[in-house]
């Protein structure tokens, strides 16, 4: 038994006003006009619920697995997936689990979903990615020009044909402080060492994609589009140069970096805009916090 992506929906909260004296200079590098920010009384569960509510009712009713990818959970415990089960009024004989993963989280989530279906544990998975980094990024932190709050909901179903296939992963924990939420004077704050993350991305993403293609005996021309994590304009432009490929999809200008949701959001938008269609092969690659990286292939 194999698995396939059935549908993807997402929810983005209101636009954040990014105007500042340096905005033009910042925009030239980030490629981001708007980031998104949730209200004070909203959190990852609320955003996830709004994304799930966009899915067709009959699709969500008999979900037997919830995978909730987040790094900004409502509580340290219990897990967000349990809270979402109740909020969506899903059945109680259900497998629910949280994954503490960031920008590579969608690929890790897909690997768990695919394994659950292949093993026969479940038949229909709700993969939710939801984060609210804004709660840890204060007004003075320039990362507000990059990161957006947002959530996505993906339904993965069993399939007779293999439509999610060939996973590959990479982890470098020696750089775990490069993107971190840690206590500063007793307050948990987000920080990112841009040069570390940039170097990791520029070196490891092209290298791992090339290794992946070799390992699975595929040429880049096999894929209709490449969906990379929408980290920032400068990163996507550099990866396009390094991979020497014009099939990399860019969808960041009005959305920002929504961490684990960026890949499903860009796939959903590409589909709506007619850039991809049924039976197209897509290469997905998420990378970032960890530092970690995941690659997989999807047939629509």
Q: Give the closest residue to 53 by CA, choosing from 158, 156, 157, 152.
A: 152
Q: Provide the minimum distance between the beta carbon of 263 and another protein in the complex, in angstroms, as a whole number.
A: 22
Cα–Cα distances in Å, from 1 out to 115, 122, 162, 234?
10, 11, 8, 40
**Which two tokens mark 194?**
């841009």
| Interface with another protein, residue 177, by CB under 8 A | no
Residues 16, 74, 194, 299: which binds another protein (CB under 8 A)?
194
- Is 62 among the catalytic positions? no
Q: Is the peptide bond before 261 cis (omega within 30 degrees of 0)?
A: no
Q: Is 257 a catalytic residue?
A: yes
Which of 138, 182, 188, 203 contacts another protein by CB under 8 A? 203
The count of C-alpha atoms lying within 13 angstroms of the C-alpha of 13, restricted to the half-sphere facing its C-beta, is: 27
| Residue from 254, 261, 284, 278 nearest 15 by CA | 254
Q: Which is nearer to another protein, 94 or 234 (CB)?
A: 234
Q: Which of 181, 199, 220, 300: binder of another protein (CB under 8 A)?
A: 199
Residue 238 interacts with another protein (CB under 8 A): yes or no: yes
Copy the structure tokens of residue 138. 């204060």
Two tokens at 72? 């900004």
Nearest-CA neighbor of 284 among 235, 249, 243, 238?
A: 249
* Residue 94 interacts with another protein (CB under 8 A): yes or no: no
- Beta carbon of residue 231, minimum distance to another protein (angstroms, whole number): 11
Contact mark string toward another protein, 136..175, x via CB under 8 A? ------x---------------------------------
Which pair of structure tokens corresponds to residue 186? Answer: 């007793």
Where on the chain is the footprint of another protein (CB under 8 A)?
Answer: 25-26, 29, 142, 193-196, 198-200, 202-203, 234, 238, 241-242
- Positions marked active-site: 103, 229, 257
């Amino acid at each position: 038994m194999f698995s396939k992506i059935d549908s993807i929906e997402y929810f983005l909260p209101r636009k954040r006003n990014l105007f500042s004296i340096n905005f033009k200079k910042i925009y030239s590098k980030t490629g981001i006009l708007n980031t998104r920010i949730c209200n004070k009384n909203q959190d990852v569960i609320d955003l996830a619920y709004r994304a799930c509510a966009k899915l067709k009712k009959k699709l969500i009713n008999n979900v037997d697995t919830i995978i909730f990818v987040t790094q900004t959970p409502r509580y340290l415990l219990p897990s967000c997936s349990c809270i979402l089960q109740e909020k969506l009024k899903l059945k109680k004989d259900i497998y629910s689990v949280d994954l503490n993963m960031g920008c590579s989280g969608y690929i890790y989530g897909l690997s768990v979903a695919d394994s659950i279906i292949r093993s026969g544990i479940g038949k229909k998975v709700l993969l939710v990615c939801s984060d609210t980094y804004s709660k840890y990024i204060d007004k003075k932190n320039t990362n507000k020009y990059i990161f957006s709050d947002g959530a996505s909901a993906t339904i993965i179903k069993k399939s007779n044909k293999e439509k999610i296939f060939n996973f590959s992963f990479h982890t470098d924990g020696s750089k775990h402080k490069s993107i971190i939420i840690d206590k500063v004077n007793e307050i948990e704050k987000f920080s990112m060492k841009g040069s570390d993350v940039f170097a990791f991305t520029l070196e490891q993403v092209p290298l791992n994609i090339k290794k992946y293609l070799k390992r699975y005996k595929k040429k880049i021309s096999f894929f209709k589009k490449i969906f990379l994590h929408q980290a920032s304009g400068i990163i996507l432009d550099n990866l396009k140069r390094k991979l020497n490929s014009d099939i990399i999809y860019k969808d960041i200008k009005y959305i920002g970096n929504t961490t684990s949701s960026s890949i499903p959001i860009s796939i959903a938008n590409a589909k709506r805009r007619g850039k991809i269609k049924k039976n197209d092969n897509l290469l997905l690659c998420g990378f970032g916090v960890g530092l970690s990286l995941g690659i997989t292939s999807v047939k629509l």
